Amino acid sequence: MEHVRPSTLDEALEGLAAPDAKALAGGQSLLPVMKLRIVRPSVLVDIGRLELGGVHMSENELRLGALTTWDELESAQELERPALAALAECASGIGDLQVRNRGTLGGSLAHADPASDMPAVVLALGAQIVLRAATGERTVSAEEFFLGPFTTALGPAELITEVVFPLVEGSGSAYVKVEHPASGFALAGAAAVVRPDGGQSVALTGMGGQAFLLASDANPVDALPDAEIYGDRFAPVEYRRHLAGVVARRALDRARERMEGTDE
Partner 1 sequence: MPAARQLELVINGERRSVEVEPRTLLVHALRDGLGLTGTHVGCDTSQCGACTVLLDGRAVKSCTMLAVQAEGAEVTTIEGFARNDELHPIQRAFVEHHGLQCGFCTPGMILTASDLLTRAPDPDDATIRRALRGNFCRCTGYQSIVDSVRAAATALREGEAA
Q: Which residues bind partner 1 (CB under 8 A)?
A: 1-3, 5, 24, 27-28, 31-32, 35, 44, 46, 48-49, 71, 95-99, 101-102, 184
Nearer residue to partner 1 within complex by CB, 34 or 227 = 34
Nearer residue to partner 1 within complex by CB, 46 or 143 = 46
Q: Do the Cβ atoms of 155 and 144 come closer than 8 Å?
A: no
Nearer residue to partner 1 within complex by CB, 60 or 182 = 182
Q: Indicate the residue type of 1.
A: M
Output the smallest distance, CB 189 to partner 1, in A: 17
Distance CA 108, CA 86 (A): 16
Three-state DSSP class for residue 221 = helix
How many Å is the maximal CA-CA distance in the chain? 54
Output the smallest distance, CB 98 to partner 1, in A: 5
Distance CA 157, CA 161 (A): 13
Nearer residue to partner 1 within complex by CB, 54 or 126 = 54
Nearer residue to partner 1 within complex by CB, 18 or 227 = 18
Nearer residue to partner 1 within complex by CB, 11 or 143 = 11
- Beta strand 21-24 pairing with 43-46: parallel
Torsion of CA 88, 76, 26, 104, to 10 degrees: 40
Distance CA 216, CA 194 (A): 13
Distance CA 92, CA 84 (A): 13
Output the smallest distance, CB 20 to partner 1, in A: 14
Output the smallest distance, CB 153 to partner 1, in A: 27
Angle at 158 between CA 155 and CA 186, to 5 degrees: 70
Nearer residue to partner 1 within complex by CB, 54 or 184 = 184
Distance CA 28, CA 51 (A): 19
Distance CA 243, CA 255 (A): 18
Output the smallest distance, CB 1 to partner 1, in A: 5
- Beta strand 128-133 pairing with 136-141: antiparallel
Output the smallest distance, CB 157 to partner 1, in A: 20
Output the smallest distance, CB 126 to partner 1, in A: 30
Three-state DSSP class for residue 114 = coil
